[in-house]
Amino acid sequence: MFASIREHLAASAPHDAVRAAHHAAAAHGKDVSAREEKSAAVVFEGTAVERFRQALEAVAGHCSVVRGEAAAADALRRIILERGARRIAVSDSPLARRIATLAEANSGEESELIDDAGAAELFDCDLGVTGAQWGVAETGTLVLESDAERHRLASLVPSAHVAVIEARSVRQTLGEVLRALGSGGAERLSRTVTFITGPSRTSDIELTLAIGVHGPAALYVIIIEGEGGTDGG
Amino acid sequence: MQHPTSETFDRNAREALEDVQLRGALRNLATTFGERRKLAILTVEDWEGLRERARASKDETLAHLDKYLKAFAENAERAGAQIHWASDGAEACRVVLDLIRERGATRVVKSKSMATEEIHLNAALEAEGLAPVETDLGEWIIQLAHETPSHIVVPAIHKSKRQIAELFAEKVGVPPTDDVAVLTGAARRILRQSFAEAEVGISGVNFGVAETGTILILENEGNARLTTSLPRTHIAVMGIEKVIPRLEDLDMFLKLLPRSGTGQQLTAYQSLITGTKRRAEDEGPEELHIVLMDNGRSRMLAHPVTRQSLACIRCGACLNACPVYQQVGGHAYGSVYPGPIGAVITPQLSGLRTNAQLPYASSLCGACREVCPVKIDIPELLLHLRAEVTEGTAAGTADQRGPVKSRPLERLAFKLYARAWASPTLYLWGARVARVLQRLVVRDGRIGRVGGLMAKLAPPLAAWTEWRDAPPLAPRTFREQWREEHKG
C-alpha cells in the first residue's frame, strides 16, 4: 500500500509545485500562524467552574457545586433518593468511593453499593458513580482516563451517571486538556480516554431530540471546591 | 430490495421530487441543521482561520500520507493493536470475516461507520451466515427496513415517525406509538440484549492520530462506547485518509466537525482508544484490530485537485446546505455517499463510467464549499470530473479508458460557440440569422415548450424548454443599438 501511495504522490508532484507557487504568491503577507491564538473560543467572564456549569446545563446535564466531601455526599444522596436508585455501582476512584460510601450509608436500607461491578452486574444497576480526571469548562465536558480509574462501563451502562470532580481539575479549554494528555508521550497516554458531554442523545427520528439512548439518560456532575480530596482520585 | 443506482440520477431525482413526505423531512433537515450550524460557529472566535488551519493540516498529512500512516501503525501496534492492511473493500471484508471466524464468534454488534457501508460489510458477513446488529438508532432502523442510509450523519432522515413506528411494530413487536421517547426506549431495551451478548464489536474511526496510534470515535448515543468496550474483540475499520498528525490536532477537528454537522459544540461522547488494555484486569476488549483500508483512496492522491476530497471529515454539512440534496435526498444519488461530497468521491472510488451523472447533480452554487469545515472546493472538483466525463483525461479516477460520454455534437456545438463569440462579424451575422429563425418557436413573446419537428432539429432547445421558458433574442444587438443611436 505504501508503494501505491508514493507512486500516486509522485505523479502529482509537478501539479503540486505549480499550486505551491500559486499559494505562496497569494499568501504573501498573510500570516496563518498568527491566527492560531485567535481561534480560541470567545472569552468568558467568571470562573472555570461557573462556565462549566453553564455549558453542562445547556446540554441537559445537572451540575452541583459544593464545598467539601460531606456536602458532595449530601448531593449524591439527594440524587439517589430522587431517582429511587437501589443498586449503585461505584468505580475504583478513591474520591468517588469515599463520597459514595458516605452517601449510601445515610440513604436508608433500600440502596446498595457495588464495588468492582462486572459488566453483567452493571446492567442491573440504576446508577454509576465515578470520578473524573479533568473537566473542560468551555463545553461542560468530563475527561476520564483509564489509567487513573476504571470508568468505561460504570459511566455508561447504568441509566444514570454521577461524576464527582475537584474544582481544580476543571480547565478552560479542550485544547489545554489534549495538550496535557499528550504531554507525556505515547507511552504515558491512557489506553482509553473518554470525553463525556451531557447525557446520551439522538435525533435520528425526524430530528426530534430524545435523551437517553444507549448511554445514561441522566448525567450529574458534583464539583467539589475547597478542601476536597486528598490524592486527586 | 431494488435500490436506485447512480446511473439513473435524473430519473431518481424526478421520483424523489414527487415524494411529499420526503421533501418535508428534507426541508426540516435543511432548516434545523442550517440554523444550528450558524449559531454554533458564532461560539468560535476565528472560524475562518480554524478552517484554514484544518485544511492546511490535511494537505500536509495527505502530501506525506505514507509517513503518517506508518507512524500511526507503529504506534498503535506498540500499544497492542493489530494492524491489517486492505487494499480494497473486498479484502477488508475478508479480513473482518476471517477475524470473526478464527475466534469462533457469531454475535457481532456494529456502531455507525460509513467506511463499512462503503464496502458493504454487512452484506458480506450476512452472506457467510453472520447477523451483525447495527446499534446506532438510525442505522438499526434502516437495517430493519433493508434500506441504505440516505445521509452521512442521520441515516434514517428520509423516514417519518409513523413509518418508523410501523417498522418497529412489524419487525420487533413494539406497539405502534407516536411518541419518539417511547420508540427510542424500545430500541434501547432491545439492543441492550445484543450488547450484553456480543463477542465482536465493529466500529469505524473518525480520526487516527499518528503521534500516538490513537483512534478517536465520536457519537451521541453511547452505542459506539458499548460496541468498543463490552465485546472481547474490537475491529475498527479505518479509511487511510483519516490519519492526522498529533493528538492536539484533535482540538481543531473536534471544534469543526460537530458544529458543522449537527450544530453541536461537541457530541456527547468521544472515545480515544490507544491499543489494548495495559493489564488483564482492566476494562475493555482483549484484542483491537485496526483495518487500514485503501479502496481507491491512494489513487486520489495523484492529482491535487482530487486529493483535496480526501480531506473530508464526513461531517455532512455539504449535504445539509446543498439545494439539490435538499430537494431529492440521499437515495436519489444511488451511491453510498450522497450529496456534494458523494458526487465527488463516488466517481473517484467506484469509477466515473457508472457514476457519470453524479458530477452533473449540481448547479455549482457553491453552498457546499462555503460550509465545508476543511474548505474542500467541491465545485472545482465537479468541473474537473465533468471534464473527465467529456474528455477522458481520467487522472485520479478508477477508469483509464478514455471519455465516458464523448458527445461529439456537444463538442461541435461548443467549438462553433467559441468561434462565433471570438469573431465580431460572425457574432453579428449569427444573431441576425437566429433572430429570423426564432420566429419559428416564439409565441406571445416567449419561447415556451418546444416540441414536434423543432424538438427533433434542436434537442438542446427542447430539453431546456421542457421545464422553463426561454427569453427570445432582442430585436437588436447592443452594438447595433449603439451604432444607431450614435449615428452622426
| Mean per-residue pLDDT, B19-43 | 94
> Among residues 393-422 of chain B, which lie with CB inside 8 Å of chain A?
none
CB-closest option in B65, B252, B275 to A191: B275
Could you please state the CATH topology (level 3) that the domain comprising B6-298 is classified under: Rossmann fold (3.40.50)
The per-residue pLDDT for B402 is 55
- DSSP class of residue B195? H
Q: What is the ipTM of this complex?
A: 0.90
Q: What is the tens place of the pLDDT at every residue in B110-125?
A: 999 999 999 999 999 9
What is the pTM for the complete model shown? Answer: 0.90
Does residue B162 sit at the A interface (CB-CB below 8 Å)? Answer: no
pLDDT at residue A14 tops 50? yes
**Position B488 pLDDT exceeds 70:** no
- In chain A, the residue whose alpha carbon lies closest to the alpha carbon of B52 is A32
Give the confidence band of B403 by pLDDT, cuts at 50, 70, 90: low
Q: Which of B:33-52 have CB within 8 Å of A?
A: 33, 43-46, 49-50, 52
Residue A43 reports pLDDT greater than 80: no
pLDDT digits (tens, 9 = 90+) for A170-202: 999 999 999 999 898 888 999 999 999 999 999
- Alpha helices (H) in B263-377, listed in sequence order: 304-307, 317-321, 323-328, 339-350, 367-371
What DSSP character marks residue B470? B
Q: A16 to chain B: which residues are within 8 Å by CB?
A: 63, 304
Residue A67: the pLDDT is 96
CATH architecture of A47-225: 3-Layer(aba) Sandwich (3.40)
Distance CA A181, CA B132 (A): 35
Residue A207 C-alpha cell reads as 430530528
In angstroms, the CA B406 to CA A225 distance is 73
CA atoms within 13 A on the CB side of B127: 9
How large is the average pLDDT for residues B195-212? 97
pLDDT-derived band of residue B392, with 50, 70 and 90 as boundaries?
A: low
CA gap B334, B331 in Å, rounded: 5
pLDDT attached to residue A28: 56
Q: Which of A188-197, B4-13, B243-252 has the lowest mean pLDDT?
A: B4-13
The CA distances from residue B471 to B303, B438, B442, B466, in Å, are: 41, 11, 9, 14
Task: Kindly tell me if the per-residue pLDDT of B103 is higher than 50.
Answer: yes
- Average pLDDT (B300-307) is 87
Q: How far apart are CA B96 and CA B417, in angstroms?
A: 55
Average pLDDT, chain B: 92
How confident is the model over A119-140, as a mean pLDDT?
96
pLDDT at A232 over 50: no
Main-chain dihedrals φ then ψ at residue B204, nearest 5 degrees:
-95, -165
Domain boundaries defined on chain A: 47-225
Task: Give the confidence band of A92 by pLDDT, cuts at 50, 70, 90.
Answer: very high
When mean pLDDT is compared across A32-36, A64-68, A169-173, B140-144, the lowest value belongs to A32-36
Q: What is the pLDDT of residue A25?
A: 67
Query: How many contacts (CB atoms, under 8 Å) link A and B?
Result: 250
Element (H, E) at A121: helix A119-122
Between β-strands A87-90 and A112-115, what pairing exists: parallel, antiparallel or unpaired?
parallel
Residue, of B227 and A43, whose pLDDT is higher: B227
Under the banding of pLDDT at 50, 70 and 90, the label for residue A29 is very low
Note the pLDDT tens digit of each residue in A51-82.
999 999 999 999 999 999 999 999 999 999 99
Q: How many CB atoms lie within 10 A of CB B390?
A: 16
- CA-CA distance, B126 to B93, in Å (whole number)? 11
What is residue B391's predicted lDDT score, i.e. its pLDDT? 76
CA distance A83 to A95: 22
Spell out which residues of chain A touch residue B380, defining contact as CB-CB under 8 Å.
none
Percentage above 70 pLDDT, chain A: 87
Question: Quick one: average pLDDT of A11-36?
Answer: 63
Q: Is B7 exposed, middle or buried (0-12, 13-18, 19+ CB in 10 A)?
A: middle
Domain range list for chain B: 6-298, 411-485
Question: Is B444 or B257 the better-scoring residue by pLDDT?
Answer: B257
Question: pLDDT category, A229, cuts 50, 70, 90?
Answer: very low
Q: Where is mean pLDDT largest: B129-133, B475-479, B484-488?
A: B129-133
- Average pLDDT on B281-306 reads 93
The pLDDT, as a whole number, for residue A26 is 63
- Whether B161 and A205 lie within 8 Å, measured CB to CB: yes
% of chain B beyond a pLDDT of 70: 96
